[in-house]
Amino acid sequence: MKMKNFKFSKLQYFKIKLHHPFRLIWECKIKNWDDFHLILFHITFLTIFSVFFIACGKSKNSSQGLPGVYLSQYDYPYDVALNSSAKKLYVSNNLSATVYEISTDSNGIIRTFKVPDRPSHVALSPDNSRLYVTHTDRKTKAPTERPAVGEEVILSEINLSGGNVSIRAFNQKDYCWPVDIAVSNSSIYISCYGDDSGSADSSFLYIFDSQSFSLKKKVSLKSAGFRTAYVLGVALNPASDSVYTAYSGTKVETQTVCTGECETYCDNFCKAKCAYDCSIIPEAERQQCITDCYDESSKSGTCWDDCSYEKGEEKESSTSYYYIYEYSGADGTKLKDFNITSRCSSPSNVAVDKSGEKLYVTCSGNGNIVVVNTTTKAIEYTTLPKTSDGYSAKPLDLVFDPTGNYLYITDPREEVNVKTGKLNTGRIHKFSISDKTVKSFDTGRYPAAVAVDSSKVYIANTVDNFIHILNP
């Protein structure tokens, strides 16, 4: 049958506005070709719109095409913990205040646990029966803000057999900002910063009884002579009861500047400052950065313009130091400190090998992986490869594979590339313990945490709300 040309009449346009075209199908009122074309028009329009909407939505996610589990846009996955024997992955979702239990067989969500606000780090008990969750805040927005009474939760426990959630509420005096967590058979260790007055200048290691939730010990990590102190990752030694924390501290000293020629002082000061500040810039642009900061030949640049000291003037200078501290897991007694300042800038997390003889530290400030011998204090380091556009690595989380032969290291990047204006993706590095070689893989935006079983790597990409499952 030959179909006649179709044009919309005013009545048909009116019908589009007031009557859903699929009602014609439901009520069996398709009487002519005009009705058929009206339905066909809507189907075509909705199909094109849906495809366009899905494509546009996915284009914003840099994890598109990678294998894994896509979460809700309101989740913001923060940390992961893996029970390899039960084939279950646990994910804390910082924005939705939930914890997911995900099957590593089907990649489907098995259970969702509702927990207090802002769940951050997670850790399983050694027998995998309980999951411990830290909380960065409830109503508060920053470490310097005191929570109201009843809002001081920083730790919750999920009984995985029954699904019950227990809460450990801090009082006003004890409240701090949790940074990391580690769990032994008898104790829970939480590194956190923020002192009794609400200042972020002090750091603590909290030791809880894992059965009663009672606070066994509150250990101050601030050392004499340091004005500020920031604790970071915490790790247990599998061969002893020692606990290790990464630590950043700042010492401030007063010195007299320009004891001779002020111009000479500014020369030396700006040379050092500009070379350091521009060291993170890709090599092709580094010299221009230094020139803009301080042009030695013309005595110009932003640093030289700001260097205006008078002879005899006093100036405060601050120096950052980076350590790994070792404490007794039983009572929090400090046992050793390892000064890693020469090889590590801004340590983030710590991992201990199976023998307990070596510590591995991610250094986000200079892109290094530092290895510390716990007996001799000898330090080795490996610099992770730069990105294709010349930017240094910023390693964050790290974990051993089950064999202990490889470390997997997350490498988040700034979300927006300052050169191209495009969204950056992060990387995951596979680090060989034996020969120090590194193999890198692209992942989604801001890979914050990683877990590894015998065959797969699970990476929490926070910004993309995505768990990347990598088979390296």
By the 10 Å C-beta count (0-12 exposed, 13-18 middle, 19+ buried), 463 is classed as: buried
Average pLDDT (314-327) is: 84
Q: Which of 88-92, 317-321, 345-349, 459-463 has the lowest mean pLDDT?
A: 317-321
Structure token pair of residue 126? 């050694």
Structure token pair of residue 255? 């010195």
Whether residue 253 is predicted with pLDDT greater than 80 in this model: the reply is no
Q: Is residue 332 part of a domain?
A: no
Q: Sorting pLDDT into bands at 50, 70 and 90, what band is 154? A: confident
Q: Is residue 20 part of a domain?
A: yes
The DSSP annotation for 175-200 comes to --EEEEEEE-SSEEEEEEE--TTS-S
Give the pLDDT score at 345: 92
User: How many C-beta atoms lie closer than 10 Å to residue 258's C-beta?
Assistant: 18
326-366 per-position pLDDT tens digit: 999 999 999 999 999 999 999 999 999 999 999 999 999 99
Quick check: helix, strand or coil at residue 326? strand
Q: Interhelix angle for 262-277 vs 283-293, to 10°?
A: 150
The DSSP annotation for 33-49 comes to HHHHHHHHHHHHHHHHH
Q: Is residue 241 part of a domain?
A: no
Give the pLDDT score at 24: 44
Q: Is residue 368 part of a domain?
A: no
User: How many C-beta atoms lie closer than 10 Å to residue 85's C-beta?
Assistant: 8
User: Which of 275, 291, 312 is where one domain is finished?
Assistant: 312
Residue 272 backbone dihedrals phi, psi, to 5 degrees: -70, -45
- How many domains, the chain? 2
Q: Which domain holds residue 36?
A: 11-59
Q: Which of 132-141, 241-250, 286-295 has the lowest mean pLDDT?
A: 132-141
State CA 251 to chain mean position distance: 27
The more confident residue out of 357 and 42 is 357
Q: Is residue 469 part of a domain?
A: no
Give the pLDDT score at 346: 92
Q: Is residue 296 part of a domain?
A: yes
Length of the chain: 472
Average pLDDT (233-238) is: 96
Q: Sorting pLDDT into bands at 50, 70 and 90, what band is 408? A: very high
Whether residue 14 is predicted with pLDDT greater than 50 in this model: the reply is no
Residue 278 backbone dihedrals phi, psi, to 5 degrees: -90, 0
pLDDT > 90: what percent of the chain?
A: 44
Q: Is residue 36 part of a domain?
A: yes
158-206 per-position pLDDT tens digit: 999 887 888 776 654 566 778 899 999 999 999 987 654 444 457 889 9
pTM above 0.85, yes or no: no
Q: Is residue 90 part of a domain?
A: no
